[in-house]
Structure 1
Amino acid sequence: MTTLIESHRNSILAALPSAEWNRIAPHLDLVEMPAGEALYEAAPESSCIYFPCTAIVSLLHIIKNGNTAEIAVVGNEGIVGISFSMGGETIPGRAVVQRAGYGFKLTSSALKAELNHSGQFMLLLLRYTRALITQMAQTTTCNIDHSLEQRLCRWILTSLDRQQGNELELSEDLISDILGANRQEVINAVMSLQRNGLIRYLGGHLTILKRNSLGERACGCYSAIKTEYEQLLPSSTAK
């Protein structure tokens, strides 16, 4: 049985009234979410949604040439597989675990049954959907209009907002997939931030040394996304 304490690791679950929590809790499964695991691939049907707790998930758009670019990141503020709440039966793009951790899994049938009650859960999903759409739109614009270094700063800060501490485990290849840039361009951007004393990067381990300075280098997309989440979501972890 899922405990109430565990559910508080995800802001959506933590905000549910007792009656709604009691209905949904028996259907939640606590699952490991290893780094690199694909929760969804392009097009095929899936039957579950995920509520990340300590894991962070990248939502990726697949470009025609086979490359990918991140359009959103989901942590313990949100849900992966939100299209099921809107009647969808497939998940577009890919959802890949960026940071290992755990989360809760819920079948789409249990989700739809709870939504039929038209309670607080539905309102939370609608608000989260709006925030997620804003993040996707802002990230898409960012990928087109802003420099790789600005995008890297935005992505680092967005990821940090969804975890504790100031360290990230990631490879140049992962950053390349997320930002839709080639590996050498990513290395150059990372080294630029390191030379300026903002981060330390060694062997896939990134430590943020000057978070405020990263914020100054990031484009306005980061603050726009952050503001939207803070306005719409209860006790959002997008601080």
Structure 2
Amino acid sequence: MPTALQTVSDPRQNQLLASLSDADWKRWQPYLEWVDLPLGKVLCRSGSTPGYVVFPTTAIVSLMYLAEDGASSEVAVVGLDGVVGLSLFMGGDVSPHEAVVQSAGQGYRLSAHRVNAEAESGGPVMRMLLRYTQALIAQVTQTAAYIRHHSIDQQFCRRLLQGLDRLPSNKMAMTQELAANLLGVRREGVTAAARKLQLAGVIAYRRGHIEVLNRRRLEQGACAFDGASKSRPRDLMTMAA
């Protein structure tokens, strides 16, 4: 439950929930539970079956690929554009990724039981979730191609844009160590990339907090690569439609 000092977010800040018809929204609303999503909270571990799907409203969740040697890298980002726990909709049950909160905030969850009932009934809601699944697959594909063909500087710029597009302001909490873990690179490379952007007046970096001062320059730094710079949630949903 939220504390007395917390302002509870509106569930329809999440774009998927906002897209529900009035009838579907009335059916879902009683079953949606508010959840606090602190930094570092693991929503689902790789190889496990999620107990819930989570619709972030003000938080950002990283979907991480974990290698056998312990290395990890981010393959997709989920914020107010989407939902965590898609394996429940797809019939596979077991999650292929670890879902970790990388920007604290709030969200709403729906139990696996309700999700399974929705999947079995089909209809407009299921089609909407399948479109989002296609959008998420597109993001994972773009990330793989981007890592293969772009420098650490460009990857860092793209990752900042992905966070920026899923937050209500131009400020985000991100340490250089966290950015290195998300990108699967050495911290020194991220430190150098952040220093270049700060000296160029593109970002301001203070004690684990980044403020984007010039989005256009950041987009130029990310480099448009066959649509890979399309980090905006609505762009991805349009691609999937």
For residue 201 of structure 1, what is the aligned residue in structure 2? 205
Moved more, 106-115 or 151-160: 106-115
Within the candidate set 223, 227, 231, 2:229 is matched to 223
State the AA in 2 paired with 1:54: T
**Distance (whole Å) between structure 1 residues aligned to residue 115 and residue 224 of structure 2:** 35
For residue 89 of structure 1, what is the aligned residue in structure 2? 93
**Distance (whole Å) between structure 2 residues aligned to residue 215 and residue 111 of structure 1:** 37
State the AA in 1 paired with 2:87: S
Alignment of 1:29-68 (within 5 A): 29-68=33-72
State the AA in 2 paired with 1:231: T
**Offset at residue 224 of structure 1 (A):** 3.8
Q: Is 2:162 aligned against 1:155? A: no
**Distance (whole Å) between structure 2 residues aligned to residue 199 and residue 15 of structure 1:** 33
Asked if the contact 2:15–2:80 (Cα under 8 Å) also holds between the matched residues in 1, the reply is yes
Within the candidate set 115, 119, 123, 1:119 is matched to 123
Identity percentage of aligned residues: 38
Contiguous gaps of at least 5 residues in structure 2: 1-8
Q: Give the RMSD, CA atoms, in angstroms.
A: 1.7
After TM superposition, the score normalised by the length of structure 2 is: 0.90
**Distance (whole Å) between structure 2 residues aligned to residue 109 and residue 136 of structure 1:** 27
Q: How many residues align?
A: 230
Deviations 1:136-193 (A, max 9, x none): 0000111121100101111101111111111111111110110001111111111111
Deviations 1:65-88 (A, max 9, x none): 311111100010100111110112
Q: Is 2:79 aligned against 1:75? A: yes
**Offset at residue 208 of structure 1 (A):** 0.7
**Distance (whole Å) between structure 2 residues aligned to residue 65 and residue 44 of structure 1:** 19
SS of the equivalent of 2:43 reads strand
Q: Is 2:103 aligned against 1:99? A: yes
State the AA in 2 paired with 1:109: H
Q: Is 2:26 aligned against 1:12? A: no
**Distance (whole Å) between structure 2 residues aligned to residue 146 and residue 233 of structure 1:** 24
Asked if the contact 2:179–2:190 (Cα under 8 Å) also holds between the matched residues in 1, the reply is yes
Asked if the contact 1:138–1:225 (Cα under 8 Å) also holds between the matched residues in 2, the reply is no
* Runs of 4+ that moved beyond 6 A: none
SS of the equivalent of 1:116 reads helix
**Distance (whole Å) between structure 2 residues aligned to residue 37 and residue 136 of structure 1:** 22
Relative distance call for 1:202 and 1:225 in structure 2 (3 A) is closer
**Distance (whole Å) between structure 2 residues aligned to residue 201 and residue 228 of structure 1:** 28
For residue 6 of structure 2, what is the aligned residue in structure 1? none
State the AA in 2 paired with 1:151: Q
Asked if the contact 2:66–2:98 (Cα under 8 Å) also holds between the matched residues in 1, the reply is yes
For residue 147 of structure 2, what is the aligned residue in structure 1? 143
SS of the equivalent of 1:80 reads coil
Moved more, 216-225 or 91-100: 216-225
**Offset at residue 99 of structure 1 (A):** 0.8
